[in-house]
Structure 1
Amino acid sequence: MPRFQPPHTHLLHNHPARWLGLLGCLLLGEAQAELYKGVAPGGNFALENWNITVPQDADGNTTGKAITIRPDQLSGPYGYQSRWFRTDPQDGSMTFWTPINGATAGGSSSPRAELREMLDPTNLGVTWSGAGESVQDALLKVMQVPRDGIVIVGQVHGYGSAPLILLYYRYDFSKQTGRVIAKLQGLPEQGPPYTNHVLATNIALGETFSYQMKVSHNVAMASANGGPVATMAMDPAWNSETFYFKAGAYLHMHGDSATEGARVKFYRLAASHPNDGLLINSPAALPEARVGQPYQAQLSATGGLGGATWKLVSGHPPAGLTLAADGLVSGTPEAGTASATAHWFVAQARDANGNTHHKKFSILIPQ
């Protein structure tokens, strides 16, 4: 289990936000997510390139080895969900629950309900290099933490080595507020040298925040709420390692309670690998739509190889509109979609070589 060093964290301040990530501003107070409440998480999030480890063994108990659910079982509106991983019926969020007495796996003594990226849904060994460009963006709330106050909500993990970036939320029970912290690992072996960087402070339980993790040309980066970026030039010892993303609710402790643990709700999750110059160049704010009136907006991308195929990776366009594989958003907005706040969704372009780029789009339907 990764070790932390809270007394020696670095608080980022008075530095320019050099990297805001592929989604731009992640916290749009004026926007609302289009997440369906009556589907499995795979109906709101593109999970065909993720598996999930949950704190349950093959017998349905929490005492044995934790099981992993395959991508083909996760994806789609009728995919896997359980008490560990489900769609919240109130807000449509992708919700992870990990009790401290959960089943464990992977050599860790701490339980998790955690997604693991799979570039090839049938082969764990297909991973990505730090010499290219890879990014993961998320919008989430931490609703509950165990007694140590810690839950890991994102990782850039080495394939056979330590996590390069480990992003966690740490709650202070006395102050009733929390911090978002990134641990940047200096060498592929677990342990020092590493640094902990405070990315955001005063984040209460149940408060929405965003994070971004990026590896670009052998530089590891992490930020929260679009703020200053913690960066680390990767040691040459990482050159032979490859990586994958993770997201969810991974604990830093284990115990006997079935009710103590961490609950985390994701409203946006997107991972991309925008190499060979692939770039979505459509503006984030699409043209306004009107209820009952036909609508079209064409998404476009440059670079890459062999053109782009589009899909949704988080959320949906407003009811009545759809995204086609050629990037056309079209349809007729249904009654009830008019609002003073914009609707948002995240779309991803994929080229013929498997390079990907994602971007958040918004559509306002005035009342």
Structure 2
Amino acid sequence: MIDLATWNLSIPEGSPPATISTPLLVQGFKDQYFNSETGTLFFWAPVTGAKTENAIYPRSELRETYSNGTLRNWLYSAADNKLAATLTVNQVPSSGKIVIGQIHAKDSTSPMVKLEYQYKTYSSTGNIVAKVRMRPDDESGQVITIATGIKLNQSFSYLIHLSPAGVLTINGAGYQWNTNISNTWSDKPLYFKAGVYVQDNTGYVTEGGKVTFSMLDIDHNL
């Protein structure tokens, strides 16, 4: 079973979109956008779904919390910070792009790290692409292709690891990339996110992103 005691969930329904609290998730919350009944985590976000404040795309996405439901934010220097997952991408929108993991920054509209699955129709496979802002004031960031050739419904794993020294390592589907982020991030509270954040907002109600996680784990090792 995947431990949901360190997450809340944003679903693309309501105005503003609903947030499902950590206790409700642990008790077995399920709807059309999320289900954990089988021991895996199923996420669905249609392109027509409601969008969170300042977002232009819908999401069905977990956000890091404490077990009592309080939002958890951390400074990278305080621990060895890891987000690990194994998943399959079951459906993508017409843009082909969904975000499957993030290091977000508190009170910011721009994450430090976005890990995307980008599907290419011509090859019927997808790439794992990291979008990384090296500094908090970096608007565009770097775009790094971590892995290629991943089909829909093919299981793969990723690891986003940010060390206390500011070394960022991203593993995806057996490939690895790393860098040193700027220490100007050192006083910025961060948090992990995971799920499906579709990078598209037009189309039919049946269009969107669908992902199934068989493993999802956060570690902050002192």
Match of 2:135 in 1: 187
Q: Could you tell me how far 1:93 is from its partner in structure 2?
A: 2.4
Pick from 124, 130, 133 the counterpart of residue 76 of structure 2: 130
Give the deviation of 1:159 after TM superposition.
Answer: 1.1
Counterpart of 2:169 in structure 1 is 221
Structure 2 counterpart of 1:163: 111
Q: 5+ unaligned residues in a row in structure 1: which ranges?
A: 1-43, 58-63, 276-367
Instruction: From 156, 167, 177, give the equivalent of 2:125.
Output: 177
How far apart in 2 are the matches of 1:223 and 1:106?
A: 30
TM-aligned CA deviation for residue 88 of structure 1: 6.7
Match of 2:58 among 111, 114, 128: 111
Query: Is residue 2:4 matched to residue 1:47?
Result: yes
TM-align CA RMSD: 1.5
Residue 255 of structure 1 deviates from its aligned partner by 1.8
Name the counterpart of 1:85.
Answer: 34
- SS of the equivalent of 1:273 reads strand
Task: Kindly provide the amino acid, as one letter, of the partner of residue 67 in structure 1.
Answer: A
- Quote the offset at 1:120 in angstroms: 5.4
Q: Tell me the residue number matched to 2:150.
A: 203
- 2:52/2:58 contact within 8 Å kept: yes
Which amino acid in 1 is paired with 2:94? R
Task: Check the 8 A contact 2:80/2:162 in 1, yes or no.
Answer: yes
Pick one of 189, 205, 218 that aligns with 1:242: 189
What residue identity is the alignment partner of 1:69?
A: I
Higher relative contact order (CA 8 A, sep 6+): 2
For residues 270 and 105 of structure 1, the distance between their equivalents in structure 2, rounded to whole angstroms, comes to 24
TM-superposed CA distance for 1:123, in Å, is 2.5
CA change 1:94–1:164 in 2 (3 A) is: same
Deviations 1:244-276 (Å, cap 9, x if unpaired)? 11100001121242100010000000001111x
Q: Which moved more, 1:207-216 or 1:235-244?
A: 235-244
| Distance (whole Å) between structure 2 residues aligned to residue 158 and residue 245 of structure 1 | 9
| Aligned-partner Cα distance in 2 for 1:119–1:226 | 30
Cα separation, partners in 2 of 1:244 and 1:121, compared to 1, 3 Å? farther
Higher Rg: 1
**Identity, % of aligned positions:** 31
What is the CA–CA distance in structure 1 between the aligned matches of 2:67 and 2:136, rounded to whole Å? 23
* 1:68 correspondence with 2:19: yes
Q: Could you say which residue in structure 2 is the equivalent of 1:316?
A: none
Distance 1:199 1:88 in 2: 31
Structure 1 residue aligned with 2:198: 251
SS state at 1:188 partner: coil
Is the 1:130–1:219 Cα contact (8 Å) retained in structure 2?
Answer: no
Q: Residue 82 of structure 1 aligns to which amino acid in structure 2? A: D
Moved over 4 A (4+): none
Answer yes or no: is the 8 Å Cα contact 2:8–2:69 preserved in 1.
no
1:220 corresponds to which letter in structure 2?
A: L
User: Relative to structure 1, is the Cα distance of residues 98 and 128 closer, same or farther in structure 2, using a 3 angstrom cutoff?
Assistant: same
Q: Distance in 2 between matches of 1:207 and 1:122?
A: 33
Contact 1:55–1:102 at 8 Å: present in 2 too? yes
Distance 2:150 2:81 in 1: 26
Letter in 2 for 1:185: R
More strand by share: 2
Task: State the distance in 2 between where 1:123 and 1:261 align.
Answer: 30
Q: In structure 2, list runs of 5 or more residues that go unmatched.
A: none
- Give TM-score scaled by structure 1 length: 0.57
**Structure 1 contact 96–249 (Cα < 8 Å) conserved:** yes
- The Cα of 1:116 is off from its aligned counterpart by 0.4
Q: Is 1:141–1:265's contact at 8 Å kept on the other side of the alignment?
A: yes
Asked if structure 1 preserves the Cα contact closer than 8 Å seen for 2:73 and 2:189, the reply is yes
CA distance in 1, matches of 2:203, 2:68: 34
